[in-house]
Copies of this chain bind each other. A is one copy, B any other.
Amino acid sequence: MLIQHLPLLSTKRIVLASASPRRSQLLQSLGLNMEIIPSTFDETLNKSSFSSAGEYAAETALHKAIEVSRRTYRASDQTQADIVIGADTVVELEGMILEKPTDEDDAAHMLFKLSGRQHRVFTGVSLIFPSACDPVLGKTPLVHTFWEETSVDFGELKKEAIEAYVRSGEPMDKAGAYGIQGIGGSFVKSVTGCFYNVVGFPLYRFSVELDKLIAKGALCL
């Protein structure tokens, strides 16, 4: 849990390496203030070289956080960030990763595939403490990366519902062509696992991991 650490965290420079408005909203809902520096890391890792979609998401999150942590030095007060947070979310259906749809036809095609089936959502998270020393490796920075999995059961979607949803525009910037925090939420019969992981950031797991890292002294720089 993080709430008891908010006074400490409010004195730290936290950087979110993501342009996703959903992720920054989720972190703000916990009471965290942060700077946003979107990563320019090109999401081009070779998916087939990973044994799971979760590992792929975690590695992408790590690369995003590394790329941004190199750019957090602020000349005005000569500081770098205390924590850099990278994240990446992927949707997997029957072994296939679904990205953001390329156009409306692609979005409709994805939604037909998701209809009446269960799929999995993986969010990888990487936390980099640029000035902290890793207690195991004895090196700076301290880097901690993990991923979380959630199963999502879609109800049967009627053709007219898919067509109207695609026309609404909501699917276009979302992996798997739906937003669970919008109209797409009414397509979801059941979730098993962390709901916020599907929105794009696993709040519970993040809180538990950051709590452990703070207990280990990651923020007592």
Contacts and interface: CB of A to CB of B under 8 A. Distances in A.
Interface string A140-167: 0000000000000001011011011100
A196 interface: yes
Interface in A177-197: 180-183, 185-196
Report copies per complex.
2
B30 A186 contact: yes
Given A1-B157, A31-B183, A194 B188 contact: yes
Interface residues of A, number: 39
Given A1-B157, A4-B158, 12 more contacts: A1-B155, A3-B164, A4-B164, A30-B186, A180-B195, A185-B196, A186-B207, A188-B195, A190-B192, A190-B193, A191-B192, A192-B192
